[in-house]
Amino acid sequence: MTVVDNVGARVVARAKALGFASVGIVPVEPLPHLADFQDWLRHGYQGEMAWLGRNPESRANPQTLLEGARSIVAVTALYRSDDEPSEARAPGRIASYAHGYDYHRVLEERLGRLAAFIRAETGAEVADRAAVDRLPLLEREVAARAGLGWQGKNTMVLDRVLGSFFFLAELVVDADLGSVGAPVRDHCGSCTACLDACPTNAFVAPYVLDARLCISYLTIEHRGPIPRDLRPLMGDHLFGCDICQDVCPWNRKAPDTALFPFLGRPDIESLTADQILVLSEDEFRARLELSPLQRARRPGLLRNAAVALGNSGDTRWVALLGHVLATEAEPLVRGHVAWALGALGGRWAWRALEKAQLAEEDVYVLEELEAALGARNAKREG
């Protein structure tokens, strides 16, 4: 298919009218940094995200995503919202991107409308495929090639005006749309604010993240027990983490979103760890409908809530934790509740742990109970 005069500029204008914050267009070509990605995989930094290691070569070759692919329209969509509860609240922080509705459906629908515009403008049956996290593609590299920013030391794509609180998405088409945008240089300079602020030291080097140590990974993608040595470092994070973005100088004046689906939902922003810890499966599905928080699944989210309460230092949560320890069906949750009781300590916490130890049959939970009661002995000796 031949290029249509100025169609790229019109596609950019239409994409911005659809709410995308920045847009670039690049030709479909092999991406040069496959070796870096493969080295990252060899170190095991992907953790349990096994899908990242499947057919890694295809991630660097966008032509595998769509037969006859010619162009990629790369876009960003702002998601940070300034709607924050002002009243004093129980522990519980949720990453900014998850305050609204699930971005996959929203962005895929808007990219579908953009594809329809391209067909109308070119007068051709343009084939397309939208990439919003679901396809094997080195998205950050595509974004950098399209001039949407540079990959910062915290591995996020950064822009001097937009900061980094934005989603990345791509539309692959078999039409030649020309080229719009060009790579920008790295503006991180000597700054190491993001590296220094990470409580779990997840950055093994500038520009290199070990996901296994990242709070976002631990609270969302990781399905099993959170390593004990990391739990005290996680604070009150329930789902995801924004620390490395919050401290970035380029985010000081970055704009908030104007897209309704990403504005803070009151039912999500009001969620706290104590509320989450008592959600039944039906309540979990109903309250978190169309929310990114469903990604963690109920056991994972309740596990996170238990850790947040354990890190609070507030013994008023002991009664709630004791109740959950005695009634919760999921061993993963009971195990982390046991840890939380041990972290808070006190007579009533020890009694709840001892009582649970007499009735518990799950070997994992028994291990957590023993370790938690061991914390009592350590505190007494201290």
Of 380, 302, 294, 370, give the one whose Cα is nearest residue 345: 380
In tens digits, the chain (382 residues) has pLDDT values of: 444 568 999 999 999 999 999 999 999 999 988 899 999 999 999 999 999 988 878 888 999 999 999 999 999 999 998 755 444 467 899 999 999 999 999 999 999 999 999 999 999 999 999 999 889 999 999 999 999 999 999 999 999 999 999 999 999 999 999 999 999 999 999 999 999 999 999 999 999 999 999 999 999 999 999 999 999 999 999 999 999 999 999 999 999 999 999 999 999 999 999 999 999 999 999 999 999 999 999 999 999 999 999 999 999 999 999 999 999 999 999 999 999 999 999 999 999 999 999 999 999 999 999 999 997 776 665 5
Structure tokens at 162: 């937009």
Contact status, residue 133 vs residue 151, Cβ threshold 8 Å: no
Residue type, 87: E
For 90, phi and psi rounded to 5 degrees? -70, 170
Pair of tokens at residue 201? 């030291």
Largest CA distance in the chain: 79
* Residue indicated by tokens 């609180």: 165
Confidence at residue 344, expressed as pLDDT on a 0 to 100 scale: 96
Residue of 95, 51, 29, 22 lying closest to 254 (CA atoms): 22
How far apart (Å, rounded) are the C-alpha atoms in residues 159 and 57?
Answer: 28
CA neighbor of 78 nearest in space, from 263, 330, 226: 263
Pair type for strands 93-94 and 71-78: unpaired
User: Of these residues, 82, 133, 267, 314, which one is catalytic?
Assistant: 133
Percent of the chain with pLDDT over 90: 89
What are the beta bridge partners of residue 128? 173
Per-residue confidence (pLDDT) for residue 381, from 0 to 100:
57
**Catalytic residue status for 133:** yes
Which of helix, strand or coil describes residue 277?
Answer: coil
What is the pLDDT at residue 379? 65
pLDDT at residue 168, rounded to an integer: 98
First to last CA, the chain: 75
Q: Which residue's entry shows tokens 């109308």?
A: 120
Joined together, the tokens standing for residue 365 give 């939970």
Cβ pair 176, 127 in contact under 8 A: no
What pLDDT is recorded for position 60? Answer: 87
